[in-house]
Structure 1
Amino acid sequence: MSPLTPRRLDPTHRESAYSVATTRAIELLAQAGLPPGTLMNRAGDAAARLLRAWQPQARRIDVVCGPGNNGGDGLVAATALHRHLQTLGQGHVTAWLLHDPARPLPGDAARALRQAESAGVDLRRLPQAGSAVPPWGQDAEVLIDGLLGIGARPLGPGPLAETAWALAQDPRPVLCLDVPSGLDADTGRWTGPLPSSRHPRATLALLTLKPGLLTGHGRDLAGDVWLDTLGVAVPDDAGVATHWGGFGSDPGDKAGHPHAAHKGSYGDVAVMPGQSLVHSGQGMAGAAVLAARAALHAGAGRVYLGVPDASTTVEWDPVQPELMLRHLPALLDPPTLAALTVVAGCGGGAGLGSWLPGVLAHAGRLVLDADGLNAVANDGALQDALRRRGWQATVITPHPLEAARLLGRSTADVMADRLGAASALAGLLQVICVLKGAGTVVAAPQGLPWINASGNARLATAGTGDVLAGMVAAAMARHPGEAMDSVCRAVHLHGLLAQTWDAGEGSLTAAALARAARPV
């Protein structure tokens, strides 16, 4: 066993996550060469070590143990913590059991229960009928969630669900064993009530990292994620479900580039115009401006900004005079489009129907967002045109509702399996799909999807998606032969800017985010 385990996930280090099915296969292979109970003992001991490091002052600890092997892990942890507190001469551990006494525990878990009894752990049974107030100790300083693991089925009404929901809502620190109880380890799906605020949470992933901890509701419910491989090496032929993280904060600064480089060396971005206020009384031109400013700060050599109406008299952006304004016909010339990385759909409105087919047919590289995605969702011919482009030159950036429209599903279906939805869209439309949200997923028709490790709720404000589209476009323009890597780097930086935002500067707005953008 490595002295470095458990280890906290480092977002600058690329991690591999494995499905439940693959993890089960790895577990069975490992168990075949080990004495019975070895993996459970290692898991429980690792949990006890992590709890002592994470909450070193905790002296009153409650461990909630379910009817399977996850509960057995909890019992081993309870025994180890009980013995530790005995050496200190203070503190108390209570293990709360939720299983039907008439149904025997699995072999390893039954062994863990006998060992806990022999060690003198305070064992109590949770009621099989739900109650308004969770019965575990109200004076406990920290809880361990060993109720349900990766093999749990979707929870229906009953004591298991009520206990899982209560653990998720509890404001005290909770250490979850492998996954938060009730969370789908493959998808991050959560069917219970969500906490109204973020509580202190940590999850110790056992044997492998699970995708559901990294995206969707898993990000909040799991909290800080740690990994202990339990001394088991993952076989080389084990199928990886997704990658996570892997990028730092190093900017792609031009200072170290060749002296002979010029603005043409960094690509040209064109942002198609947003909807004009004069046509419908609903102006959306600001979305395109945000995307263009972000592309400029993200290092594009030149950025052209389409103006929404030929009668527009504005000739320059007083905040960002480097942007080159163009009437729409000047951007739609096929040879011109072929040399550009185009951002289309940011505030485009209904008027984009007149120019979107030409952009799909001729743009050298394309980032399609917002109204552009809605237009494609409603038009089979536009979908065909998108497929013909080639995925290495085309990125879509939907939020879950836009993804649902493109797939013909509900938003709930998309959120129930974000990895699956992003991969389905990438294959269906032959694009790189950036499915925005907690744990943004980037997927392509070839290769593995990737989950972003950065970002927080500061991005939950109008216009930040337009900024992302501009940053992605600049990355593609600068690195035209490295589409997937460039897109992932831009997504990472977009989230990192929110994470590192100085609260002393006030609330993060999309305009401020665009100014903070930098090359990748």
Structure 2
Amino acid sequence: MGRALALDVRIILPDICPERAMHRLPASLPLSLHSAEQVRALDAQLIAAGTPGFELMQRAAHAAWRVLRRKWPEAGEITVLAGRGNNAGDGYLIAALALRAGWRVRVLAVGDAAALVGDAAQACMEARSAGGAIESWSECAPLSGVLVDALLGTGLAGDVREPYAQAIRLINRSGLPVLAVDIPSGLHAETGARLGVAVRADLTVTFIALKLGLFTGLGPELCGELQFDDLQGDERLLAHAPSLAQRLDPANLPRLAARSPVAHKGQFGHVLVVGGDLGMGGAALLCADSALRAGAGLVSLATRAEHVTAALVRRPEVMCAAVNSANQLIALIERADVCVVGPGLGQGAWARSVLSAVAGLDLPQVWDADALNLLAAGQVSAPLQGVLTPHPGEAARLLGIDSAALQADRPAAARALAARFGLVVVLKGAGSLVAAPDGRLVLCDRGHPAMAGAGLGDVLAGLIGALLAQGMEAFEAASLAVWLHARAGEMLAAQGRGLAAGDLPCAIRLLLEELCPCVN
């Protein structure tokens, strides 16, 4: 298809080509996301239930070897870099399988092979019995073929130490394809933070249960394509295992109810968008347009007088009102069911005035952009109910920390914000998180790098507002909105860079109808 197709054609493109996605995922993955400790507990339960540890290790090696051959069928050669724990054991067994298949195999022991114990030691013996020569790691050792990262598993907590750090740096500089076993070495299994240095894999095969760190922070970037194998674990154990979060997926998304044949606009809420200081009217209009396209019965826009004419020309369905002070908002507020505040708001006197008029209202609100910056600066109190939608910089200011510290543990930051303000929080970014004050946490693993552009956050804020107006609870509205927004962006971004925020509302509308039909 040509790139010049009109929007109404592009928004019905089929699923994006998997080779173009940032974090390529198989069609079906478990919904639960776990910590390293939770996965180790599951591993122990599977062993206690009758599956020997070495058998689980063999299953992991076979799973990784199958995926490696599918991905690089003509490679014919691997270099296994092995550490000193069970992750190394997986690597030694992969080496044995490759040797028996007639591939050229080199095994570099970064961890002392003589110090291995238990299942890992048995795996090392298996590699030797298959004809493998195990060499001690040297920074001068040549790397060739597909590199198998079996250095460090999920138990790593502090920064990677030598000689592992040097091995990881050389892997990343090699330019060779890399398969990470269970998790890229140096990636924190729970937070997705890079622990000093981390392997940048082309393909990661993870086992037993999904680790949260694979989906947030730097996880999506470092994992490459992600494959999962439950190692034939007991489905009952896996289904009832404790988890940290849930992945958003059509199987567990909240739904809007179908509409009655005699429905009217007054039944689907009135969204009031407040924003658009001088020179920033577009942000507020994008937000209002999004709320309209997502099904709000009525949408009003309170903005600077200078933007009214342009807004009416662009979207006459939105009731646009010029507002110069907080007093002029009162009549609009009285008719509203939901307020969305912040897109294009600015931080000047006008912004502080209108925000103070909205802050104390006892109705659902969505705060975005400069509403959050004014909140962080102590210029206003948080709303009584609703949703905050910070990007990492705004979230860091709200918590009084720097962005690097926030990005080092995004799940903890999202939960901390929800607890501090007693509101649902959407922490935007790769692997967007939705946190509730009661501790619930969901993650969206959809999206595309082409969505890194101006105005997309304004569209998300308006979408959340529309779902609230149609009767959804805050956590459900935020969860559904985040998935719809990311999935729509993913569809449109299949054509590459240049995605405009204004393209999203129509695509979201189609996705919403597919997921939640307007009529039965």
Structures share fold, TM-score greater than 0.5 = yes
Verify the 8 A CA contact 2:183 2:223 in the aligned structure 1. Answer: yes
SS state of the match for residue 22, structure 1? helix
Alignment of 1:66-215 (within 5 A): 66-84=83-101, 86=102, 91-100=103-112, 104-127=115-138, 130=139, 135-138=141-144, 140=145, 142-192=146-196, 201-215=202-216
Q: 1:327 aligns with which of 308, 312, 322?
A: 322
| 1:381-400 Cα distance to aligned partner (Å, 9 max, x none) | 614xx3xx14xxx1111011
* Structure 1 residues 187 and 251: alpha-carbon distance in aligned structure 2, compared to 1, 3 A threshold: closer
Alpha-carbon deviation of 1:316?
4.6
- Give the whole-Å Cα distance in 1 for the aligned partners of 2:43 and 2:311: 63
Distance 1:331 1:17 in 2: 47
Letter in 2 for 1:454: R
- Encode CA deviations 1:449-488: one digit per residue, 9 max, x unaligned: 011021111111111111111111112212x233322211
Q: What letter corresponds to residue 55 of structure 2 in structure 1?
A: T
Partner Cα distance (2:161, 2:253) in 1: 49
2:276–2:345 contact (8 Å) kept in structure 1: yes
1:27 equivalent to 2:39? Answer: no
Q: Which residue of 2 aligns with 1:286?
A: 282
Is 1:271–1:291's contact at 8 Å kept on the other side of the alignment? yes
Q: 2: distance between equivalents of 1:13 and 1:42?
A: 18
CA RMSD of aligned residues (A): 2.8
Matched position secondary structure for 1:355: helix
> Of 342, 346, 349, which residue of structure 2 is paired with 1:345?
342
Deviation track 1:129-186 (CA, whole Å, cap 9, x = no partner) reads: x46xxx3433x1x222111100123234522012223334554332211110100001
- 1:252-331 residue pairs with structure 2 within 5 A? 257-276=259-278, 283-309=279-305, 314=309, 316-328=311-323
Report if aligned partners of 1:40, 1:73 keep a CA contact under 8 Å in 2: yes
| 2:39–2:208 CA contact under 8 A, matched in 1 | yes
- TM-aligned CA deviation for residue 404 of structure 1: 0.7
Deviation per residue, 1:391-416 (Å, 9 max, x gap): xxx11110111111111111111101
- Is the 1:14–1:247 contact (alpha carbons within 8 Å) kept by the matching residues of 2? no
1:52 aligns with 2:69: yes
The one-letter amino acid paired with 1:299 is G
**Residue 358 of structure 1: aligned partner:** 357
User: Does the 8 Å CA contact 1:168/1:221 hold for their aligned counterparts?
Assistant: no
| Aligned mates of 2:159, 2:310 — CA distance in 1 | 59
**Structure 1 residues 484 and 252, CA, compared in 2 at 3 Å: closer, same or farther?**
closer
CA positional deviation for 1:235:
5.6
Mark the CA change 1:312 to 1:71 in structure 2 (over 3 Å): closer, same or farther: closer
Question: How big is each residue's C-alpha offset from its partner over 1:20-47, in whole Å with a ceiling of 9 and x where there is no partner?
Answer: 1111222223233343522212211221
Cα distance change of structure 1 residues 54 and 515 upon mapping to structure 2, 3 Å threshold:
same
Report which stretch shifted further, 202-211 or 10-19. Answer: 10-19
Alignment partners' CA distance in 2, 1:70 and 1:406: 39
Aligned to 1:378: 377
Match in the other structure for 2:14 = none
**Paired position in structure 2 for 1:280:** none
Contact kept in structure 2, 1:63 and 1:94, CA below 8 Å? yes
Letter matched to residue 165 of structure 1: R
Contact kept in structure 2, 1:268 and 1:302, CA below 8 Å:
yes
Does the 8 A contact of 1:337 with 1:363 survive in 2? no
Deviation at 1:315, TM superposition (A): 7.2
For residues 249 and 20 of structure 1, the distance between their equivalents in structure 2, rounded to whole angstroms, comes to: 24
Match for 2:67: what amino acid?
A: L
Q: Which of 492, 516, 519 lines up with 2:507 in the alignment?
A: 516
C-alpha displacement of 1:106: 2.6
Is the CA contact 1:269–1:477 (under 8 Å) kept in the aligned structure 2?
yes
CA pair 187-338 structure 1, distance change in 2 beyond 3 A: farther
Say whether the 8 Å CA contact 2:165–2:197 is kept in structure 1. no
Spell out, residue by residue over 1:210-260, the C-alpha distance to the aligned partner (whole angstroms, 9 max, x if none). Answer: 000011110111122222222223366532111113127999899x63221
Contact 1:13-1:245 at 8 Å conserved across structures: no
Maintained 8 Å contact 2:392/2:428:
yes
Q: What is the SS of the residue equivalent to 2:301? A: strand
In the TM superposition, residue 504 of structure 1 has moved relative to its aligned partner by 5.1
Aligned counterparts of 1:149 and 1:19: Cα–Cα separation in 2: 13
d(CA) in 1 for partners of 2:308, 2:46? 71
Q: Is there any run of 5+ residues in structure 1 with no aligned partner, and where?
A: 1-7, 277-282
- Whole-Å separation in 1 of the counterparts to 2:446 and 2:402: 26
| Amino acid in the other structure paired with 1:267 | G
Output the CA distance in 1 between the equivalents of 2:502 and 2:423.
28
Distance verdict in 2 for CA 1:118–1:14, change over 3 Å:
closer
Alpha-carbon distance change, 216 to 366 in structure 1, aligned in 2, over 3 angstroms: same
1:126–1:406 Cα change, 3 Å: same
Alpha-carbon separation, structure 1, partners of 2:296 and 2:309: 23
Alignment: residue pair count: 481
State the distance in 2 between where 1:81 and 1:143 align.
12
Aligned partners of 1:64, 1:513: CA distance in 2, in Å?
Answer: 44
Aligned twin of 2:3? none
Question: CA offsets, 1:27-73, max 9 Å, x none?
Answer: 22323334352221221122112212332233112222112110111
Distance 1:194-1:94 versus aligned 2 partners, 3 A rule: closer
Work out which of the residue numbers 19, 41, 56 in structure 2 matches 1:39. 56
Counterpart amino acid of residue 125 in structure 1: S
User: How is 1:340-489 mapped onto 2 (pairs within 5 angstroms)?
Assistant: 340-350=337-347, 351-362=350-361, 364-379=363-378, 382-383=381-382, 386=383, 389-390=384-385, 394-478=386-470, 480-489=471-480
- 1:448 Cα deviation from its structure 2 partner: 2.4
Secondary structure of 1:50's aligned partner? helix
Structure-2 separation of matches of 1:107 and 1:204 = 23
Q: What TM-score, normalized by structure 1, do the two folds share?
A: 0.85
Q: Secondary structure at the match of 2:481?
A: helix
Name the CA distance, whole Å, in 2 between partners of 1:249 and 1:28.
Answer: 28
Is the Cα–Cα contact under 8 Å of residues 339 and 365 in structure 2 kept in the other structure? yes
Identity percentage over the alignment?
37
- Cα distance in 2 for partners of 1:12, 1:487 equals 23
Residue 154 of structure 1 aligns to a residue whose secondary structure is coil
Aligned residue for 1:3? none
Q: What SS is found at the alignment partner of 1:517?
A: helix
